[in-house]
Structure 1
Amino acid sequence: MTLHADLQVARGSFALDVALSVAPGEVVALLGPNGAGKTTALRALAGLLPLDGGSVRVDDAVWDEPPKVFLRPERRPVGVVFQDYLLFAHLSAAENVAFGLRARGMDRRPAHAAAVEWLDRVGLAEYARARPRSLSGGQAQRVALARALATAPSLLLLDEPLAALDASTRMLVRTELGRHLGEYTGRTLLVTHDPLDAMVLADRLVIVEGGRVVQEGAPTEVARQPRTEYVAQLVGLNLYRGRGSGTSVALDEGGELVVAAPASGVVYVAFPPSAVSLHSARPEGSPRNTWPVTVVGVEQHAHTVRVRLEGSPGVLADVTTGVVAELRLVPGARLWAAVKATETHTYAG
């Protein structure tokens, strides 16, 4: 059965009002900026924070439905992997994994045997007697995952599970985590701010801003059609809202763009920073959008340079270091931006 959660929590001036569903075998990623309500949602599902309204239901069982029902955390079949793993420093890896089983009444010997079996499944059988301080970050993450899965939870909550890892370890552990999640038949909610973690691991994305769901869908759908500035930044696109008339879109923030496909009514226009070219003088030639801009920021991004530009509209451009030198791209420099109509993607607002 599917997890159905209508999470309503009020904390001071902040109010969370988020509806979530997670089917068996599905991985749902909850994304949003800091303060959006991601952690509040996770704590409510884990039973660490009672709801003020709404409900949480799984397999026809009610976990939370104020004011009548509130199932305490220890009675919920939930496994949690925290950002800093929260392994018990005085216990071995096997004892950490066995802890949840023992807490649920399993005798010591079978709990230990099950723990060693889980450590073997995550490739750490030889570390059964190791203490957390002797483990690498990736190994500690796998122990925490084994501890969460050992109790066969109905719901697995992952709270920024890869955030504490360095870049090279993160890539390897992400791949391994994806394999384990693919084998897990329960429901998984991944809370993260990292778009790559979400795109690689999740079947569906739920974007939260200001305590509300602003967009949800398959990763490819969200990446292709972002609907807020936060989502556009998440997937690396320039995004504008405006009103279309034929192949022209008058933008809400000022300016106008010529697009490839005719549009009518309220629409979004999106294109990648790599589609933007910069020029010292107004370019001539093939039909394109051109407008004056001013450089307000320059940042190194992997093998390219991200240039932030003010204008009508403001825009992000990705250029080479050669272009930076040629055009002397420093804050305050005045240039022309150009985007071909064929590089734009238009969809209903």
Structure 2
Amino acid sequence: MTLHASLRVSRAGFSLELDLDIEAGEVVALLGPNGAGKTTALRALAGLVGSSSQITHNGSTWDGLPAEKRPIGVVFQDYLLFAHMTALDNVAFGLRARGTRKAEADTVALHWLGQVGLGDFARAKPRTLSGGQAQRVALARALATSPELLLLDEPLAALDASTRLRVRSELGRHLQDYPGHTLLVTHDPLDAMVLADRIVIIEDGRVVQQGTPRDVVRQPRTDYVAHLVGLNFYRGTAHGTEVRLDEGGTLTIAEPAEGPVHVVFPPSAVSLFTEKPAGSPRNSWQAVVSGIEQHAHTTRVELDGNPPVLADITTATVAELRLQPGDALWVSLKATEIHTYPR
């Protein structure tokens, strides 16, 4: 059963126009930069912001319902557990608010705490829980009311890096078992890639791309998306094996194409030399180092040229070239490393 949402929100200087379809059992990630409208979309679905939205599911319409009447569970970024309540009472809260008797609500809450591996923490107060445990209590609270739509608002953002990897994996397992519709709001591409079946990317309140994680990674459609997935990204016009780039420069590609195209290749495909490289046919052009940034096992070099480019090289290569901002280098790129697709 599909949940249909046509979200329309207007406020000073910003408008959201977003159409979403979420299938039962599907996890959709809403991804975008700060200010893109992600939280506004979540609040519109939850009935927490005034809008002219339309939300339908299984023949019923939700947009006229107040927030407390909508069949929705929400996990907030900071979890918002009630500090004076035990974990059990936190999870039972939604059921009690809907009129469920205490004994029955407690039974359901204890079941869900067991489902998230916290059955032994039923009497614990939030202040005694770790970040990962608090996140799981918040998830159990959201699921205890058997919602038709689960909204996750940056559910891992409050966790430290060492906890995040484990909790992300646990959350993924719980979402696989959840039969309802899930919308994950995040600015973290890794959360979206790992947890979601489909990704919807918005910028300035509009959808700019959507598809499976694999589709998005392979074929970014905007500079923001290309930056997220770590690719060099250009727009150009192809004529056979030559692409003239909109911002200047020409690249030779291995697979012929025609017309307007997007052009992508990974920074790891770029080689740097102090002199013009010789040998097998390849793209090469001169550029100037404008930035150097150390990553975990590589160094990312930003170069101004025609076109500008990002290159990932080893620390040994940095030492060999003795790179400094302002250095002039030759950039080399094999045609077989370049991927094009229609605009």
What TM-score do the two structures reach when normalised by structure 2?
0.98
Greater shift in the superposed pair: 168-177 or 26-35: 168-177
Which residue of 99, 106, 110 corresponds with 2:100?
Answer: 106
Q: Which runs of 4+ in 1 moved over 3 A?
A: none
Deviation sequence 1:18-50 (CA, Å, 0-9, x none):
111101000000000111100100000000012
Matched residue SS, 1:338: strand
Are positions 1:339 and 2:333 aligned together? yes
How big is the shift at 1:230?
A: 0.6
- 2:33 maps to what in 1? 33
Which residue of 47, 65, 77 corresponds with 1:71?
Answer: 65
**Whole-angstrom distance in 1 between the partners of 2:18 and 2:42:** 11
Which residue of 230, 251, 260 corresponds with 1:236?
Answer: 230
Equivalent residues in 2 for 1:131-170, closer than 5 Å: 131-170=125-164
**Whole-angstrom distance in 2 between the partners of 1:85 and 1:210:** 27
Deviation sequence 1:56-97 (CA, Å, 0-9, x none):
112221111xxxxx2110000100001111101110111100
**Whole-angstrom distance in 1 between the partners of 2:146 and 2:298:** 45
- 2:324 maps to what in 1? 330
How big is the shift at 1:55?
A: 1.1
Task: Return the letter of the residue paired with 1:27.
Answer: V
Which residue of 200, 209, 212 corresponds with 2:203?
Answer: 209
Which residue of 179, 184, 189 corresponds with 2:178?
Answer: 184
**Whole-angstrom distance in 1 between the partners of 2:99 and 2:289:** 64
Are positions 1:13 and 2:13 aligned together? yes
**Whole-angstrom distance in 1 between the partners of 2:61 and 2:157:** 32
Equivalent residues in 2 for 1:284-299, closer than 5 Å: 284-299=278-293
**Whole-angstrom distance in 2 between the partners of 1:44 and 1:22:** 15
**Whole-angstrom distance in 1 between the partners of 2:42 and 2:325:** 41
Deviation sequence 1:287-330 (CA, Å, 0-9, x none):
11111111111111211111111111111111111111121222
Number of residue pairs aligned between Structure 1 and Structure 2: 343
**Whole-angstrom distance in 2 between the partners of 1:240 and 1:55:** 37
**Whole-angstrom distance in 2 between the partners of 1:119 and 1:63:** 29
Which residue of 122, 128, 131 corresponds with 1:128?
Answer: 122
- 2:60 maps to what in 1? 61
**Whole-angstrom distance in 1 between the partners of 2:304 and 2:239:** 25
**Whole-angstrom distance in 2 between the partners of 1:171 and 1:184:** 20
- 1:272 maps to what in 2? 266
Greater shift in the superposed pair: 291-300 or 30-39: 291-300
Matched residue SS, 1:111: helix
Matched residue SS, 2:62: strand
Deviation sequence 1:175-230 (CA, Å, 0-9, x none):
11111100000000000111111111100000001110000011101110001011
**Whole-angstrom distance in 2 between the partners of 1:74 and 1:330:** 59
Task: Return the letter of the residue paired with 2:154.
Answer: E
**Whole-angstrom distance in 1 between the partners of 2:93 and 2:303:** 54
What RMSD over aligned residues (CA atoms) do the two structures have, in Å? 0.9
Gaps of 5+ in 2: none
How big is the shift at 1:234?
A: 1.0
Matched residue SS, 1:5: strand
Matched residue SS, 1:158: strand
Deviation sequence 1:149-182 (CA, Å, 0-9, x none):
0000000000110111112211111111111100
- 1:67 maps to what in 2? none
Matched residue SS, 1:172: helix
Greater shift in the superposed pair: 242-251 or 306-315: 306-315
- 2:44 maps to what in 1? 44
**Whole-angstrom distance in 1 between the partners of 2:88 and 2:289:** 56
Deviation sequence 1:96-148 (CA, Å, 0-9, x none):
00000101111111111111111111001111111111100000000000000
Which residue of 85, 96, 118 corresponds with 2:79?
Answer: 85
Taking only the aligned residue pairs, the percentage that are identical comes to 67
- 1:173 maps to what in 2? 167
**Whole-angstrom distance in 2 between the partners of 1:337 and 1:163:** 38
Matched residue SS, 1:188: strand
